[in-house]
Amino acid sequence: MKKEEDKKIKKNNTASPDVGNWFYTDKVKKHFFNPYKFLKDGEEFKADGEGVVGSPACGDMMKFWIKIDKKAGKIIDCRWRTFGCASAIASTSALAEMLTEKGGMKIEKALKITPQDIMARLGGLPEIKIHCSILGDQALRAAIKDYQNKQ
């Protein structure tokens, strides 16, 4: 009897990606469990621009750092940290990947990235989590503005 109950609990446990249903795409799962360009404790990163959005009081908060190739006018590297859910983490990881692939992205093009672009990269997000993709977009814009203000 106990084994049957354990099986039911495991089957219905959606908090763990290894059992039961997972509400997110495989791309979200990949970015959540292996976040790209996440700033690790003790890691040093000399940024040209920094953006902070959100509030720990209301839930999600994000910090985003960018490194710029000034001659080419493109983002060549970035790091980020977030206090948030799986969707916020995966969205920011996907954004970092978008910005740095193929040697970096022009600032003008980076400013045109939308939350919908980030969600498309992830293969979608649950409707209740769409706001999470906006944090990365806003943090990137704040970091670019910070860089531009320093110039």
Nearest to 83 by CA among 53, 60, 57: 60
Residue 132 falls in the annotated catalytic set: yes
Q: Give me the pLDDT at residue 14, please.
A: 35
Q: Give me the pLDDT at residue 18, please.
A: 45
Contacts of 5 (CB under 8 A, 6+ apart): none
Phi, psi of 128 (to 5 degrees): -70, -15
Class of domain 36-150 (CATH, top level):
alpha beta
* Catalytically annotated residue among 28, 75, 132, 135: 132
* 10-residue averages of pLDDT along the chain (151 residues): 40 38 82 94 96 80 96 97 88 96 97 93 85 86 97 91
Q: Give me the pLDDT at residue 22, please.
A: 59
* Catalytically annotated residue among 58, 71, 127, 128: 58
Give the number of residues written for the chain: 151
Residue 78 falls in the annotated catalytic set: no
Q: Give me the pLDDT at residue 11, please.
A: 36
Instruction: Classify each residue of 62-94 as buried b or exposed e, where b means 16 or more C-beta atoms within 10 Å of its C-beta.
Output: bbbbbbbeeeeebbbbbbbbbebebbbbbbbbb
As beta bridge partners, residue 20 has none
DSSP letter assigned to residue 59: S
Q: Give me the pLDDT at residue 86, please.
A: 86
Model pLDDT for residues 56-86, shown as the tens digit of each residue: 766 778 999 999 999 999 999 999 998 888 8
Q: Give me the pLDDT at residue 2, please.
A: 41
Phi, psi of 100 (to 5 degrees): -105, -10
Q: Give me the pLDDT at residue 133, please.
A: 75
Q: 130 with 103: CB under 8 angstroms?
A: no
